[in-house]
Structures are given as structure tokens and as C-alpha cells.
Structure 1
Amino acid sequence: MSHVNASIGSLPYAVTLSTGVHRLTADEPVAMGGSEQGPTPHQLLLSSLAACTSITLKMYATHQHWPLDGLDVTVAFARDEDDENIVVIDRTIALHGDLDDAQTAALLDLAERTPVTLTIKPGMPVRTELHRDAELEEV
């Protein structure tokens, strides 16, 4: 399973994220009191969906020896057309290569079943546990 640590220090909202050997920063825009040191948490969520979609489709096409030269995935939060109180994610996929209609359809079907898509679509419970300073040292 994936694991990420987040730490925040003296900058108002800049958060250092670490996962394995990788480090990145998340932040809020200046208009929200941040310093734009990195993408916002919502942008990171959308990034994970776009990355997972791209990787899964490319991996599958490579495994099938299909001529997928590349792909572009764009994702954005939007309001539902029927109920503006509902937020949805719009995803656009552009496939590059000499794919036939059956290959294209299979890749678009697969996009609906990528690991991050399947995590986001039904929602996921979040369990929260509080540790005080002294307890954190023991963990």
C-alpha cells in the first residue's frame, strides 16, 4: 500500500510531502495565504488520477503491442450539469497513434477501471487517529 508523510513548518501552508525517496511540496495560492511553493491538495488529487490513467493505458497498450505512441490526459473539477451542488471530475483523454476503433474502445473502457479511478468513484472512508507530541515520538 502507498504511504505519504506530510510536514508543515514556518511557511503558512507549504507542506513537504515525502514518500520513499521522493519529496515534493504542496501549497496554497497567494490569494489563499500561501506562497505557491507547489500544487494545491486538489491539484495533487487530480494529478494522481491523470497519472494513473496515463500509466495504466500506456502499460496495457505496450503489453498488447498496440501502436499507442502517447496520450494526454486532462482532468478538472466541474459542477454537475443537473445539480450545481455536486462536484464531478471531468477527464479528457487524447490517444496518439494508429489505433483501430476496437483498441480505442478498449483503452477508454480501461480508463474507467484504473486503480485511482476505482478508488475515487465510490468514495473512500478516511480513518483519523490523533497522536499528541509525546505519543508521536513512540510511533
Structure 2
Amino acid sequence: MATRGFTFVADEPHNGAIDEGPTPTEYLLMALASCTAQTLRQYVDYKYDDAGDITVEINYHEPEREGAERYLQRTITLSEEPDPDDLKVMHDIAEKSPVTLLIQFAWSVRTEFVGPR
């Protein structure tokens, strides 16, 4: 895979195949985590002199029973304790990060096949 001059490897290792890179799903989860962290970083660097570290973990929860909800669990860990009012603002900012909005609002995928070019 390539974009803007960067090259990446995506892999779906199975049946003993070599594990050469993250899976497409892992790339999606990394995109959400990194976008959340970068969006929060912009806010805390503006607000505080020493904002500390931001860690974002994303876990995909596959339903165990028919009809149960699928969801992504985002856990944000801050190395510094913010003011409770700032924590509410940070929560709102995380909910409005670009990849969060893309995932929440892109409810359909439309596929088209085209002939050779």
C-alpha cells in the first residue's frame, strides 16, 4: 500500500503464513488511536505548560451472541491529572476527532468495479 510517498505492508496471516505487517483492521484501529491522541495533544499543549503523556488504546468488541452490539472501546490514559472541567472538554474533543467522526458517520460503503485502465 502507498500514499503520499509512504509505503506500508498489510497482512492477514493465516495457516502458518509469515506475519509481515498489521492487518487492515489493525490499521483502522491505529488510525483512530493516533488521530485521537494527536487531536488531544493539540488541546493539552495549548492549555498547559506540561501536559504529560497521552496513551490511546482501541479494542474491537465482537458480539458473542446474536443481536449483541459491536463496538470499539477507546481507553485514553493521561499521565497528568487534569481539572475535571478540562477532562469533560477533552472527552468532547476526542468525540470530535476527524477519524472518530469518519467512523461514526460513514455508515455505508459503496463499491463499484471498473474495467482495466
TM range (shorter): 0.7 to 0.9
Question: Residue 85 and residue 35 in structure 1: after superposition, are their counterparts in 2 closer, same or farther (change >3 A)?
Answer: farther
Q: Where do 1:1-139 residues align within 5 Å?
A: 17-31=1-15, 34-65=17-48, 67-79=50-62, 85-133=68-116, 136=117
Aligned CA RMSD, in angstroms, stands at 2.3
Which protein shows a greater Rg? 1
- Where structure 1 has 5 or more consecutive residues not aligned to the other structure, the ranges are 1-16
- Closer, same or farther: CA 107–66 of 1 in aligned 2, 3 Å: farther
Flag the structure with more relative contact order, 1 or 2, with Cα contacts below 8 A and sequence separation at least 6: 2
Go from structure 1 to structure 2 and tell me whether the alpha carbon gap of 1:92 and 1:77 turns closer, same or farther (over 3 Å shift). Answer: same
The share of aligned pairs that are identical, in percent, is 32
Report Cα offsets for 1:69-105 as digits up to 9, x if no partner: 1111110111459965431101100012252222222
The farther-off stretch of 113-122 and 50-59 is 113-122
TM-score where L is the length of structure 2: 0.84
Q: Which runs of 5+ in 2 are unaligned?
A: none
> How many residue pairs align between the two structures?
117
State the TM-score, normalized to the length of structure 1: 0.72
Higher strand share: 1
